[in-house]
């Protein structure tokens, strides 16, 4: 098991309520972001995590777990579209998809936009996150939990991939940062179990940090993926909530050609699926794998 990252990119989560009227995230050493709170809609400590949902003037409704911002109604589409549409359109024939995490339902919603998907299994460790998202943030899932193709499993995702006999075309790890319950989802053992669950030609993606502030985390992810997959890299997207510049998404497969599918093919698949997106485009899909030099160095040194 890999330890949490240390140094400039380490995780430094402090009490977010120290400034009256504001929610302050201190995920990164030496930097923070604050949200003026119009209304606290829910706050409680579940069996596993400290969970809060609050209203803000700019980002709409915000969900945070253990002092770390998870999603907002204003910009969730960026993260969810890039993590769902990139692997599914690159694969081209994904029928069985696994999501680990993603309790707000935004990833599930985007996966189910693809008519070729016959079943999407979503494994979420904390039922309270699903229930509260349905009650407080229903616009994020937009009915996805009621789709007959949805198979919701409340369980430990790490244990699920270690024990299941099911096999998947695409696996999406929509997890928190490597703190609390999410820490085990960044280990070499977990990635090896995910590889076991992939069908031949399958694709694995995960959230892989903001490398300007969390370079060690991205390096750890790449390092722990490489023993299990022939082709490991990252692609990028700009998510306003996740401050510090471009966010990376980890990519792993045994087929290097899947990340270089011609743009014309991606565009044809996009049209055939009848997708409507707010951030993702077929041209952006191809460009997302063109990494800035400092991120490329982290990936290739990892």
Return phi, psi of residue 202, to 5°: -80, 170
Nearest residue to 211 (alpha-carbon basis) of 40, 2, 5 = 5
Mapping DSSP to helix (H, G, I), strand (E, B) and coil, where does residue 10 land? coil
CA 267 centroid distance within chain: 23
Task: Give the 3-state secondary structure of residue 215.
Answer: helix
The total number of residues shown for the chain amounts to 302
Q: Chain centroid to CA 278: how far?
A: 17
Dihedral Cα 187, 296, 214, 278, nearest 10 deg = -100
Cβ atoms of 273 and 114 within 8 Å: the answer is yes
CB-based contacts of 81: which residues, under 8 Å, 6+ apart? 110, 277, 278, 279, 280
Of the residues 66, 104, 169, 174, which is catalytic? Answer: 174
Provide the token pair at 302.
Answer: 């990892």
Among this protein's residues, is 296 annotated catalytic?
Answer: no
DSSP structural state of residue 244: S
Distance CA 21, CA 35 (A): 9
Catalytic residue set = 174
């Amino acid at each position: 098991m890999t330890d949490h990252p240390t140094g400039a990119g380490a995780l430094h989560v402090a009490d977010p309520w120290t400034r009256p009227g504001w929610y302050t995230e201190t995920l990164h050493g030496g930097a923070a972001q604050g949200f003026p709170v119009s209304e606290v809609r829910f706050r409680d400590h579940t069996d596993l995590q400290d969970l809060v949902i609050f209203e803000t003037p700019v980002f709409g409704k915000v969900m945070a777990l253990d002092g770390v911002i998870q999603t907002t109604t204003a910009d969730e589409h960026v993260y969810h579209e890039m993590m769902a549409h990139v692997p599914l359109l690159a694969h081209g024939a994904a029928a069985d998809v696994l999501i680990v995490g993603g309790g707000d339902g935004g990833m599930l919603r985007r996966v189910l936009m693809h008519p070729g998907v016959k079943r999407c299994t979503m494994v979420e460790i904390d039922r309270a996150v699903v229930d509260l998202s349905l009650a407080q943030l229903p616009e994020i899932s937009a009915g996805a939990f009621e789709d007959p193709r949805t198979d919701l499993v409340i369980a430990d995702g790490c244990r699920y991939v270690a024990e299941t006999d099911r096999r998947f075309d695409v696996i999406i790890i929509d997890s928190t940062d490597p703190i609390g319950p999410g820490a085990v989802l960044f280990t070499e053992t977990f990635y090896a179990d995910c590889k076991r669950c992939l069908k031949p030609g399958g694709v694995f993606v995960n959230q892989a940090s903001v490398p300007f502030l969390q370079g060690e985390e991205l390096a750890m992810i790449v390092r722990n993926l490489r023993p299990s997959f022939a082709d490991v890299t990252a692609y990028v997207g700009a998510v306003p909530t996740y401050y510090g510049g471009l966010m990376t998404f980890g990519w792993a497969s045994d087929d290097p050609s899947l990340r270089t599918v011609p743009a014309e093919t991606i565009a044809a698949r996009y049209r055939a699926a009848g997708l409507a997106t707010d951030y993702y485009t077929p041209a952006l899909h191809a460009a997302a794998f063109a990494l800035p030099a400092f991120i490329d160095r982290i990936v290739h040194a990892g």
